[in-house]
A and B are shown apart, each in its own frame.
Chain A
Amino acid sequence: MMDCPKKETLFTYHNRELDQAGVVRISNHLEQCQRCRRVLSGIERNVALVNDSLDLLQPDRIPERTAISVTPRKAKSVRVSERTGLLISSWREGVGIVALAATLVVLLGGMLYLDRRQPDFSTAQAVAINEQQFMADAKEDLRERSIYLSVYNERTGRLEIIRSTAAQDTADIEIISLR
């Protein structure tokens, strides 16, 4: 008779996660070993106890699936202001692009601003949605409560540097340079 298997092997046998050869080996052993049969019964009782207990931990209701939004829940409004002439021409060329960038800034702003575990400067990478593909790299300065975001617009090949100042309900976004 083979040596008694380890408890975790019996547990894995119980879970039907052993390969065929393992199943045959353990089954043959169990036929001959009362001690292992007792161990297996104990495992089965423990699994049943844990399963039954976890069954009690059901939520009282399942929430409705809501539309997925890329704007954070706490950002209720966004104000975009501009400083440079270059920005204005770009902004007029592609309102949609700036709006997408703004969405991205707000998203990252919300994430970074609300997560106080970050050091003074932290970086994050994100890929924007919809028709324009952006590569974004954000830096956060908690001392100024600002987030600096460089957005690479693949369509125009331009890099836009954006500063976002996030508050609980709003995020002010300012494009401070464009090159």
Chain B
Amino acid sequence: MIFDEIYRSHFEEIYRFTYRLLGNAEKAEDITQDAFTELVRQMNGSAEIRNPRAWLYRVAANLAKNRIRRGKHYRTILQENVGPPVETAEPGADLEVNEQKRMLFRVLAELPVRDQLLIQLYKQGLTYREIAEIADIKETSVGKMLSRAIEKCANKIKQVT
């Protein structure tokens, strides 16, 4: 598969994935771009990439995890204006939406990094096998880890809503 086709097909989903992981549009764009740049280098080198989509998720996930672990993103989420107000008929509803987004990003940021990653990969509709490959865990462990991560996340959301 040529790079351009991969870029066109997967750019948006990788961007959405990193955005939800980091809660920051600029950083998500940087990481998405970095992941594709790395793919160019690999494809121009001798490395054979059998599944570019999973490979991109893996690279983007590692870059995002590093950002999260360095702890720089959390402060940003708290301070960030999560974007222009959403147009709604009801006055004040836009503020409510933005506040809800901020609250959800905060809830996710409180989870262990691995849980955050598993939940986002699951949300992307990836299979257990793909999740295992990207998150570097055994396929047989995905159900157990994911089940607990979803439960923890749901409980936290219930507490704040």
Contacts and interface: CB of A to CB of B under 8 A. Distances in A.
B95 interface: no
Contacts of B11: 65
Nearest to B42: A127
Contacts of B83: 59-60
B123 interface: yes
Contacts of B127: 17
A12 B154 CA distance: 17
Contacts of A56: 97, 100-101, 104
Nearest to A72: B37
Contact of A7 (B128, B142, B147): B147
B58 interface: no
A60 B123 contact: no
Interface in B110-139: 119-120, 123, 127-128
B41 A58 contact: no
B55 interface: no
Contacts of A59: 15-16, 19, 25, 28, 83
Contacts of A117: 70
B105 A66 contact: no
Nearest to B43: A129
B88 interface: no
Contacts of B3: 68
A91 interface: no
A51 B125 CA distance: 11
Contact of A130 (B44, B153, B157, B158): B44
B37 A70 contact: yes
A63 interface: yes
A11 B147 contact: yes
B41 A70 contact: yes
A49 interface: yes
B8 A65 contact: yes
A93 interface: no
Contacts of B104: 53-54, 56-57
A66 B148 CA distance: 38
Given A53-B104, A59-B28, A17 B128 contact: yes
Interface string B8-23: 1001100110011001
Given A60-B25, A60-B82, A69-B37, 9 more contacts: A12-B143, A54-B20, A54-B119, A57-B104, A66-B33, A68-B37, A68-B40, A126-B41, A127-B44
